[in-house]
Each structure stands twice: as C-alpha cells, then as structure tokens.
Chain A
C-alpha cells in the first residue's frame, strides 16, 4: 500500500495494545443492569423454536400454483386480425382500373323511387 510506512504499524502497535487493554477492562467491568439484559437476551435467543413454521414458503407456493392455474384455465382474449392499411392499399385485385368509371356510373344512375313513399305522397296530394 502506498503512502503507509510498514514501520508505522510497529510504532502504533503498543498504542493499539493499550486500546485493547481498555476494551478488555470495559468488557470485564460491564454494569450489572447491562449484564443482566445480555443474559436475558441470550436466554430468549436460546429458547426460540428450533424450526420455524414454514407458513411463508407454503403460502408463496400456493399462490404461485394458483396464479399458474388461472393463467392456464382462463380463456385467451380474442385477437382481432384486421387487415392492415398497407395490405388493402397494395392488393392489386382491389385496385382495378375500372373503379373510377364504376363509381362515376353509380353516381349518375337513376335512383328507383320508393313505392310506399310515392303512394303516400300521392294521397297527400289528393287531400
């Protein structure tokens, strides 16, 4: 490691030993209340059940099975297969050369009068 003289650690070691001695004294002379709490915490930890109930894994597995079943059994939504604009516009069969003439003829063709409507009009006129 750059920037650190290995001898520094040797020089610091007696000081670190002093810190460790302080740590040892503090650990040995723990106050009674804290020591009792530690003892109680240890007993509670040791009295915990050895095998925790497996509610969470079982529940997660059941939910996963249910989800898979729903996906499997539910009907699939209908898919609309509508022709695209590109398909209709590029189909040569639908783009005949006579289309323009056909529509012109349809526009000019005489429209047959509605029979029932013409009779009603004649009656209204008679009155």
Chain B
C-alpha cells in the first residue's frame, strides 16, 4: 500500500496540494515519468484498450481517453508521482459517465424499435499481417468475449476488475481510483471473479 499514491487522489478531491513522497509508477511498473508527455505516451494504449473493453466502442473509447488526457493536463503542475492515480481516477469517471449515457441511449433506441449497430471491428485489433492468423483469430474472439462479459457486469465490479486485474493497480490504488475502501475493492473483485468464472475458463 502506498499512502502517497492514495493521497494524490484525495488531495485532488480536496483541492489540497500536499506533495507526496516519490513512489514508483505502479500502473506501468516503471519509474516516474519525467514529463507529462512521456507519462501519457506510456499509458495511452492501455488506457484506450481499457476504455474499449468498458464501453465496447472504439470511438467512445478514443473520446474518453482524450478527455482524460485533457483533464490530466490541468494537473500538470502536480508532482509526477501523482499523475498515475489521477489519470486512472479521471478515466474511470469518464467511463462511468459514458457507460451510463450509452445505457440510456440503448434504452431509447430499443423504445424506438431501432437496433444498435455493431460498431466493433475485431480485425482492427491486431494489425500485424505477419502474425499467425489462427492466433490472431483466437485472440480477437477472446477479446470480443472478454469485453462482452465485462460489460454485462455491474459497474463497480467492472471497474474493479479492469483496474485491479487488467491494469494491475494494487488494492489501495484501485480503492483510491474508485473512491471506496480497500474492503469494497476486495468485495467487488470477488463478485466480479465469481461472475466471470465461466468466461474466464474460455480465456485460458
């Protein structure tokens, strides 16, 4: 558990500017980025993939990541150690808002008798033409299944699984990003894992 990392998000919410002691970038498993550009370059791909899984729509995912970048830039004067928790917290809120809006949009479309278009293109995921086609097809199918199963989870369980299991944040960092306690993270994660048990079997 890294109190300084956790305090970064709490300070953001409280408007405080207390400077935490240097900590490693747990999200990327690297040292602290020297510049904001370097930090964003490190996390942008994973952020996009995480948003894509959560939203099921590449354009929405791109918008969410871009918006998170813009919001993070407002905190560019904060110490670099605060950027990772701030960024994931901002992105999580973006995903929550957009997921809620998409749910309302789907209900309206269903009420109007229109079906949402299939907006995902699995072939865009793995562009390497020299890769084994069978492996590529397998990964693409697993990716689609993973996203579909995650989007069927309750919001808090989905966020917890994405941040804790896929992004690799520890419990305290996940709790800080989600604005809840460590115990709540463990509860959400346990429920998510139970709900995903059947799907996870297919991804082995």
- Which residues from chain B contact A50 at a C-beta distance below 8 Å? 76
- Which residues from chain B contact A23 at a C-beta distance below 8 Å? 46, 49-50, 53, 146, 166
Query: B61: shortest Cβ distance to chain A, in Å?
Result: 9
B27-71: CB near A (< 8 Å → 1, else 0) gives: 000000000110011001110111001000010001001100110
List residues 136-191 of chain B with CB under 8 A from any CB of chain A: 139, 142-143, 146, 165-166, 168, 187, 189-191
**CB-based nearest A residue for B62:** A37
- Which residues from chain A contact B204 at a C-beta distance below 8 Å? 14-15, 18
Size class of the contact patch on chain B: 35 or more
User: In the bound complex, do residue B62 and residue A41 qualify as a contact, i.e. CB atoms below 8 Å apart?
Assistant: yes
- Which residues from chain A contact B4 at a C-beta distance below 8 Å? none
* A4 and B168 alpha carbons, distance in the complex (Å): 23
User: In the bound complex, do residue B41 and residue A18 qualify as a contact, i.e. CB atoms below 8 Å apart?
Assistant: no
**CB-based nearest B residue for A6:** B190
Size class of the contact patch on chain A: 35 or more
Known pairs A38-B44, A45-B66; A9 contacts B193 (CB<8 A)? yes
* A98 and B125 alpha carbons, distance in the complex (Å): 105
A18-32: CB near B (< 8 Å → 1, else 0) gives: 111011011111111
- Which residues from chain A contact B62 at a C-beta distance below 8 Å? 34, 37-38, 41
* A114 and B37 alpha carbons, distance in the complex (Å): 105
Query: A29: shortest Cβ distance to chain B, in Å?
Result: 5
Interface of A: prevailing SS = helix
Task: Answer yes or no: A48 CB below 8 A from chain B CBs.
Answer: yes
* A16 and B201 alpha carbons, distance in the complex (Å): 9
Give the A-B pair count, Cβ closer than 8 A: 115
* A70 and B37 alpha carbons, distance in the complex (Å): 50
User: In the bound complex, do residue B127 and residue A31 qualify as a contact, i.e. CB atoms below 8 Å apart?
Assistant: yes
User: In the bound complex, do residue B48 and residue A19 qualify as a contact, i.e. CB atoms below 8 Å apart?
Assistant: no
User: In the bound complex, do residue A20 and residue B166 qualify as a contact, i.e. CB atoms below 8 Å apart?
Assistant: yes
Which residues of B are interface residues toward A (Cβ below 8 A)?
Answer: 36-37, 40-41, 44-46, 48-50, 53, 58, 62, 65-66, 69-70, 72-73, 76, 124-128, 131, 139, 142-143, 146, 165-166, 168, 187, 189-191, 193-194, 196-197, 200-201, 203-204
6 A-B residue contacts at CB 8 Å?
Answer: A9-B189, A12-B196, A12-B197, A29-B125, A41-B62, A45-B73
Which residues of A are interface residues toward B (Cβ below 8 A)?
Answer: 1, 4, 6, 8-9, 12, 14-16, 18-20, 22-23, 25-35, 37-39, 41-42, 44-46, 48, 50
Top 8 nearest A-B pairs (CB, nearest first) are A15-B200, A45-B69, A31-B127, A41-B66, A23-B166, A38-B44, A12-B193, A27-B46
